[in-house]
Structure 1
Amino acid sequence: MTIGLKKRHKYIKILKGINYIKRHKKKTIVVVVLLIFYAFCLPTKMFTKPTSTVITSKNNELLGALIAKDGQWRFPHNDSVPQKFKTCLIQFEDEHFYKHPGFNPVSIFKAFKQNIQAGSVKRGGSTITQQVIRLSRDNRSRTYFEKIKELIFATRLEFRFSKEKIISFWSSNAPFGGNVVGLDAAAWRYFNRNASQLSWAESATLAVLPNAPNLIYPGKNQQKLLVKRNRLLQKLLAKKVIDSLTYELSVLEELPQKPYPLPQIATHLLQKINKEKKGEFVKTTIDKNLQNQANTIVKNHYNQINKNGIYNISVLVLDVKTRQVLSYVGNSPTDIKHQKDVDVVDKPRSTGSILKPFLYAAMLDAGDLLPNMLVADVPTNFGSYQPENFDKKYAGAVSAKLALSKSLNVPTVRMLQDFGLEKFHDYLQKLKLKDLKENPNYYGLTLALGGAESNLWDLCKSYASMASTVNHYTQNSSRYFKNEFCEPTFYGNKKIDFGQKTSEKIIFDAASIYLTFESLKDVNRPNADQNWEFFDSSKQIAWKTGTSFGFRDAWAIGTTKDFVVGVWVGNADGEGRPGLVGVQTAAPILFDVFDKLPKAAWFEKPFDEMTEIETCNKSGYRATENCEEKSLEFVQNAGLKTKACPFHILVNVGISENYQVNTSCERLENIKQKSWFVLPPLMEYYYKDKNPFYKSLPKFRNDCLGGNKNAMKFIYPTEKSTIFLPKGFDGKKNEIILKVAHSNSEATLFWYVNDTYLGTTKEINEFSVSLEIGDYIISVTDNFGDEVRQQIIVKE
């Protein structure tokens, strides 16, 4: 019964409500419209003015900012308001902030009474909430009608946002004098520090400024500002917010005299981020201390090299484990004339030799090379292309490891020729070097020596990915990550996802990378007697330099287990300069930066990707039975595919071992079979000058039959090639010097040009000849009847 009565009463109320609406339609519509207006009276976004792009370090330290589009230093909205400033602001502007619903009736009445008595607006009576509304409405004229609207909007603001959010609105948008808007910008402009680090006196100063922001101008109205600040401090003391000692020390603090320039610690990174996140507050991965140190290092070296007309430097430091950017120096502190604003980190530049480690790693990975395997270092022609070593000297034969650590050009080009241009280009494409845009034939064999372009970002990224590959392989039970070769990041809120684990290599296997780093660890460092900074050699670093053709670009990139440092030095406009060499200009900067980084342990050996084999000590190839001196060596698993040593052969010699013999000239019991290390004639010609213990294969004794097998090869020219006739100082054409290497030093050589006899040589087999423009066949015959021929084209 009771339940039925309740339902009936409820039904009656609803009917009465409906009847009232029907009788008062206009009133109802007005109320509904007002409620709708009230609900939607505030814009979705309270503040729409442009803001500065601001970047901070990984520890939230300010690195730099760009002024907003409207010329104001207005930092992006910050929800975090320091407690000291919040306390000062509430005590000065709105003591009852946490109690009122957006307006304070008592303050409004007092303001109204005082303004009526004065006959003009002397007091506003606005709460912080009302001030936020006025700031969002561009400080419209203070009329009573405008005040009524502010009051209505203020109550709606209180419904929509928390008190803390309203305080943050005020702090981010209040004017602080001049073109400074918001607490964060004001703290840096007037006190050169973060708002959270302000003292009570500094917080009080900024709390009273928006009340009369013209007071802050340097040297103007300082006394008025001081009185306002100290009055607020006195109030804080009276309310026991601060103690007497804090008060006494605070009133002694000086007022700011002029605005400080905002920090510009990573200017080029700021510009880069501004393109993607204009007007935003961005936390980066930059280590502020390291960034400052890198800036100082770059400045010091710039002050030296600019005397030689070299004006631009860029430095990039990556954390291998996180793939985060720790330091980003886009350019040196030069001037506009020398393009100080150009960010060189991501600009394409000629690579020089900086790609050589990738070729070395690719050949190891493919099973075409072992680290100590001998490779030819002899004069080489590929048509009209004639690569030369930096010192224009030749060693005959060097280990692949030494060729890399000494950055020898000729062995590198010969290795690339043997490996295959397309195969190497494919490896580079997998590294995602974005400036490598052409097909392999466009670059040709110069691809490994600077014929291509790349940038510091991509190169450092690749070195970091390789280092991380070895680290992850040894840390994750001999497994790889699918997204190992990924882009680094300078955004603090981004974490690199290395992807799923896999047993398959991604580009290079861990062992090939490890062995490459072992070779790069042996690169000679710039030493103190060259006036470069001394570097503690106990720090193990795999590093490589590069110098582009014409001395236009100098590179140095190095990696440890934890860090990658990359350096580029040159001129942004591409002008070459003498002395612009990687080891002389870029390497010292590299090691100065590494000196500021923590010492890192060396890479762990990836044993599961390695195999222990016997190698020949002299040749570095897989050992055969003919190799007398052998060693056990851990090599990459793919190294098992390399061919066995071709340089050790078995020869029959007499008891004295001075001659080769056979049964036609010596009794069988007097013949010894001996393993002999024999290089091809051209390699031997240069090798024996560098290796005094090298013993040439002995010739056959004169009384032996069938033993006069000699080897002969051109030293110059080595291939069918085009020769350009040089001219001397007198304007006359110089002669061409032809050279041949012969395995028998006592052989007599007979020289011919187009079957025309020129003359003979013995021991020193060089012949000077004057030739006109045209095609020629050079032929050389020894006194045993062996012949070599070479075609050349002579041009001016």
Structure 2
Amino acid sequence: MGVVLLVLFTGLDLAFPLPSAPQYSPLVLAADGSVLHAYLNPTQKWRMKTELREITPVLRKAIIEKEDRWFRWHFGVNPVALVQAAGRNLFGRGRTTGASTIPMQVARLLEPKERTLGNKLLEMLRATQLELHYSKDEILQLYLNLVPYGGNVEGVKSAALLYFQQTPDYLSLAQTVTLAIIPNRPRGLILGQNNAAVLRERNRWLRRFGAAGLFPRQDVEDALLEPLDVQRHAAPTLAPHLSRRLVRQFPRQAIIRSSLQRGKQSKAEDLTRNYVRRLHELGITQAAVLVVSNRTRQVEAYVGSADFHDFGSQGQNDGVVAVRSPGSTLKPFLYALAMDRGLVTPKLLLPDVPTNFQGYRPENFDKHCNGEVTLERALAYSLNIPAVRVLNQLGVPTFTDKLHQAGFQSVTRNRTRLGLSSILGGCGASLEELTNLYVTLAAGGRYEGLQLVAPPAATPCPQAPSPEVKEKLTASFSSAKKSSGPLLSLSAEGNREDKATRREPAGQQLISPAAAFLTTDILAQLTRPDLPLGAASSLRLPKVAWKTGTSYGRRDAWSIGYNREYTIGVWVGNFSGQGSPALTGADVATPLLFDLFNALAYNSPNDWFAPPAALDFRLVCAETGLVPGENCPNQVIDYFLPGVSNGQRCQHQREVLVSADGGFTYCRACAPAAGFRRELYPNLLPEVAAYKEARGIAYRRLPPHNPQCQLVRTDAERAPSITSPTPNTEYVLNRREQQQLLLSCTTPSEVRQVYWYVNDQFLRAAAATERVFFQPTPGPLKISCADDHGRNTNVLVTITELD
């Protein structure tokens, strides 16, 4: 008999497949389950899905008592109620009813039809079919998701949020009963319009429920005293940019639980909106903010623009994912990589002088050079020339490969075309990518992707069902397997774990914990130019490590900071790309960063990053930052990575043989047997010596070589280095403006004079640091420079003239 029934119902499923699943309003939740943002469904209705956990015992009792008292006992159709309704309708006694059960109402709500006897019979068949496919709780869930509340509001969750601004599981008894009584009269009992009528009906049903012993007497008395002063509110619209992003990413999920913390999100939106309002008079209209928990990598606040509805300033653009010039924000990552390669340590001195890197001539932000600076000062003061020098030494491919591993998509697409300018903002990056790079520094150099969706909660193991329930479940499952009805996944939709939402354990160590700590230690210093005016004396200055950045043309201002608990990234600018004189990271981005830290992370632990065991101390020469040599009386303590950091000995001074009167020097070949003395002279790099000469900076200069020396010294390594023009370059000059070509070079400190030649024809003699200009002829040119020691260098260029 069971097999026959199974075949019959399977045939019913094939002949009359279940209706399509309801189209729900996409909901984006905060990590705590509260609704952040709601959207209309495709039919322009507010139909927010009520989850099983949101159907409270109070709501369950009120709906079942009012709509279908025998819901738990019948199989979709109540025969007793049918007979009673038929008698009332036939003999005209009592209220005319249709004896509709909750499953029958669900069938009618899924497939609205005219109320006829034939359609009533079809509802009964559908109700029985639903009973075979779903549990009682799932049928009740469907009913509560479809019941009308007037206008375009459907479902108890939609009504609870739009009228009471709470989800159903947070409603009081009076509010729950209010929502239970409206579906039968959605046009007559309209919340916000005729609250008095709704209140009378609510209290009538409360008394009935109290008389039936459905709820405790005291609870009913308290509910009767609760006022009803409600109106329709707008749907929640927090985190509009992330909500839109997640809805597009998971189009089949009715409910998406994000990683955002509601309080932090609301505070970040308010701070950003109010801050940008004060910048409008400076021609700055937008900002974006990202707040990340370093421990979980979960994004806890996501502000894509100052005002999503500000169409004049393109507020619907998402500044978190927009690709912009990162300015100087990549420098900490570069120096950390260079530390891991043993190229630099914090106290190492780097040249900060005008330098030509194969045709690329970077400048510092303030157009000023410092001669030589330590790495920690170069990073703290965000100097450009030392950063380009370190990148040139590390290698652009090594740097861009690491950015590729860190998820920089624009860099990945263009890394074969990127050059030295990438460290100064010559590549593209988003706020999301940059913020996660600093999360990586805070995490000791370990990289993982950011989490926008909260991890699924652990599901408790259910109790074993009774034998009767087992039998029904088995029969339902057998029928459901053969059915093609799309409602099968209805109760699981939105609660299942999508593959894309899983937190994968994958991660990689991009930089060592030691290099990450050293970089953090430098970024936490307060003696730096990008500290906002007056911030150093402020009692609300947060303990953070941070870095600012300003793109070329002052189009983008960045400030990204972190402590042990949080990393916060801030971008300020205009989506149009228009620059502003006031748009710098220090002036307009860092104040907002500090405000966010003080508001969102005020209760963070005070503990700071501790140096890892792999780090050690050593004494280094204060003049170079290298391991002290024979002539290094001034020494300081510096961190280093044992077995990794460069162990080169310092040679900042060299011993020179000088004549008795100090007028000239001797080489080993021409030194006399007596009548000379040994002295120490600075062993400067040629470009540093040339910078000091050009700026008139006093230093102990090496005397000229012995003029009587007969040895011709033409070692190529000491030959002049031509810094202008750039080798193998085409120069386009305007003939009418009579433009000239610059000749310049760097030489060893003993060189006093150089001689310039053009196409092997003598041009003129000049001081070693002198800048020479001449008007070239069109065509190929050979530029030669010889010094007063007989060493020579050549470069080839092409000159093109335009009329």
Give, as a single letter, the amino acid of the residue that structure 2 aligns with 1:66: Y
Match among 579, 582, 585 for residue 579 of structure 1: 582
Match among 260, 276, 289 for residue 286 of structure 1: 260
Give, as a single letter, the amino acid of the residue that structure 2 aligns with 1:86: R
Instruction: Tell me by how many angstroms 1:518 deviates.
Output: 2.3
Instruction: Tell me by how many angstroms 1:425 deviates.
Output: 2.6
Instruction: Tell me by how many angstroms 1:704 deviates.
Output: 12
Q: Distance in 2 between matches of 1:422 and 1:323?
A: 28
Give, as a single letter, the amino acid of the residue that structure 2 aligns with 1:509: S
Give, as a single letter, the amino acid of the residue that structure 2 aligns with 1:292: S
Match of 1:433 in 2: 408
Asked whether 1:189 is paired with 2:157, we answer no
Q: Distance in 2 between matches of 1:291 and 1:665?
A: 77
Asked whether 1:413 is paired with 2:388, we answer yes
Moved more, 594-603 or 276-285: 594-603
Unaligned runs of 5+ in 2: 457-500
Instruction: Tell me by how many angstroms 1:545 deviates.
Output: 2.5
Q: Distance in 2 between matches of 1:32 and 1:418?
A: 79
Instruction: Tell me by how many angstroms 1:182 deviates.
Output: 1.1
Match among 464, 467, 472 for residue 439 of structure 2: 464
Q: What's the secondary structure of 1:348's corresponding residue?
A: coil
Give matches, 1:291-310, under 5 Å. 291-310=265-284
- Contact 1:662–1:704, Cα closer than 8 Å, also in 2: no
Match of 1:636 in 2: 641
- Contact 1:395–1:687, Cα closer than 8 Å, also in 2: no
1:589 and 1:744, CA in 2 relative to 1: closer, same or farther beyond 3 A?
same
Deviations 1:13-45 (A, max 9, x none): xxxxxxxxxxxxxxx9xx987764446656776
Match of 2:472 in 1: none
Q: Distance in 2 between matches of 1:563 and 1:510?
A: 18
Q: Distance in 2 between matches of 1:177 and 1:789?
A: 87
Give matches, 1:202-217, under 5 Å. 202-217=175-190
Deviations 1:211-233 (A, max 9, x none): 11113546644443232212112
Instruction: Tell me by how many angstroms 1:325 deviates.
Output: 1.4
Match of 1:498 in 2: 505
Moved more, 558-567 or 642-651: 642-651
Match of 1:620 in 2: 625
Give, as a single letter, the amino acid of the residue that structure 2 aligns with 1:581: T
Q: What's the secondary structure of 1:275's corresponding residue?
A: helix
Q: Distance in 1 between matches of 2:529 and 2:87?
A: 82
Deviations 1:367-408 (A, max 9, x none): 222222112211122354321111111111112222222222
Q: Distance in 2 between matches of 1:189 and 1:635?
A: 61
- Contact 1:322–1:495, Cα closer than 8 Å, also in 2: no
Moved more, 227-236 or 51-60: 227-236
Asked whether 1:552 is paired with 2:515, we answer no
Instruction: Tell me by how many angstroms 1:318 deviates.
Output: 1.8
Match of 2:136 in 1: 163
Moved more, 190-199 or 54-63: 190-199
1:570 and 1:688, CA in 2 relative to 1: closer, same or farther beyond 3 A?
same
- Contact 1:64–1:267, Cα closer than 8 Å, also in 2: yes
Match of 2:593 in 1: 590
Q: Distance in 2 between matches of 1:533 and 1:114?
A: 84
Q: What's the secondary structure of 2:288's corresponding residue?
A: strand
Q: Distance in 2 between matches of 1:45 and 1:615?
A: 80
Instruction: Tell me by how many angstroms 1:705 deviates.
Output: 9.1
Deviations 1:460-491 (A, max 9, x none): 23332343245x8xxxxxxxxxxx44454424
- Contact 2:704–2:751, Cα closer than 8 Å, also in 1: no
Q: Distance in 1 between matches of 2:227 and 2:104?
A: 32
- Contact 1:215–1:222, Cα closer than 8 Å, also in 2: no
Instruction: Tell me by how many angstroms 1:606 deviates.
Output: 1.8
- Contact 1:382–1:719, Cα closer than 8 Å, also in 2: no
- Contact 1:547–1:582, Cα closer than 8 Å, also in 2: yes
Match of 1:198 in 2: 171
Instruction: Tell me by how many angstroms 1:333 deviates.
Output: 0.7
Match of 2:544 in 1: 540
Please provide the CA RMSD for this pair. Answer: 4.4
Asked whether 1:400 is paired with 2:375, we answer yes
Give matches, 1:473-512, under 5 Å. 484-486=447-449, 488-493=451-456, 494=501, 496-498=503-505, 506-512=509-515
Match of 2:612 in 1: 606
Moved more, 352-361 or 785-794: 785-794
- Contact 2:328–2:550, Cα closer than 8 Å, also in 1: yes
Give matches, 1:9-20, under 5 Å. none
- Contact 2:297–2:448, Cα closer than 8 Å, also in 1: no
Q: Distance in 1 between matches of 2:351 and 2:6?
A: 90
Moved more, 262-271 or 98-107: 98-107
Give, as a single letter, the amino acid of the residue that structure 2 aligns with 1:181: E
Q: Distance in 2 between matches of 1:519 and 1:52?
A: 49
Match of 1:312 in 2: 286
Asked whether 1:376 is paired with 2:351, we answer yes
1:200 and 1:689, CA in 2 relative to 1: closer, same or farther beyond 3 A?
farther
Match of 1:333 in 2: 307
Instruction: Tell me by how many angstroms 1:539 deviates.
Output: 0.5
Instruction: Tell me by how many angstroms 1:179 deviates.
Output: 1.1
Instruction: Tell me by how many angstroms 1:94 deviates.
Output: 3.0
Match of 2:366 in 1: 391
Deviations 1:612-648 (A, max 9, x none): 4332222112222332222343312353345332423
Q: What's the secondary structure of 1:387's corresponding residue?
A: coil
Q: What's the secondary structure of 2:593's corresponding residue?
A: helix
Instruction: Tell me by how many angstroms 1:594 deviates.
Output: 2.2
- Contact 1:395–1:690, Cα closer than 8 Å, also in 2: no
- Contact 1:316–1:327, Cα closer than 8 Å, also in 2: yes
Match of 2:464 in 1: none
Match of 1:348 in 2: 323
Give, as a single letter, the amino acid of the residue that structure 2 aligns with 1:498: P
Deviations 1:762-786 (A, max 9, x none): 9x95667677777777888888888
- After TM superposition, the score normalised by the length of structure 2 is 0.79
- Contact 2:665–2:706, Cα closer than 8 Å, also in 1: no
1:108 and 1:654, CA in 2 relative to 1: closer, same or farther beyond 3 A?
farther
- After TM superposition, the score normalised by the length of structure 1 is 0.80
1:45 and 1:391, CA in 2 relative to 1: closer, same or farther beyond 3 A?
farther
- Contact 2:349–2:625, Cα closer than 8 Å, also in 1: yes
Q: Distance in 2 between matches of 1:655 and 1:57?
A: 83
Asked whether 1:647 is paired with 2:620, we answer no
Give, as a single letter, the amino acid of the residue that structure 2 aligns with 1:260: H
Deviations 1:657-709 (A, max 9, x none): 999899999999995765x55423531454699998x8424648999999999
- Contact 2:330–2:423, Cα closer than 8 Å, also in 1: yes
Give matches, 1:642-721, under 5 Å. 643-651=648-656, 677-684=682-689, 686=691, 695-697=699-701, 699=703, 717=724, 720=727
Asked whether 1:518 is paired with 2:521, we answer yes
Give, as a single letter, the amino acid of the residue that structure 1 aligns with 2:202: R
- Contact 2:532–2:587, Cα closer than 8 Å, also in 1: no
Tell me the percent identity. Answer: 28
Q: Distance in 1 between matches of 2:542 and 2:653?
A: 38
Q: What's the secondary structure of 2:435's corresponding residue?
A: helix
Q: Distance in 1 between matches of 2:334 and 2:677?
A: 46
Q: What's the secondary structure of 2:290's corresponding residue?
A: strand
1:66 and 1:132, CA in 2 relative to 1: closer, same or farther beyond 3 A?
same
Moved more, 80-89 or 302-311: 302-311
Moved more, 274-283 or 455-464: 455-464
Q: What's the secondary structure of 1:313's corresponding residue?
A: strand
Give, as a single letter, the amino acid of the residue that structure 2 aligns with 1:680: L
- Contact 1:379–1:715, Cα closer than 8 Å, also in 2: no
Deviations 1:721-740 (A, max 9, x none): 9798999xxx9668778777
Asked whether 1:565 is paired with 2:565, we answer no
Match among 135, 140, 151 for residue 178 of structure 1: 151
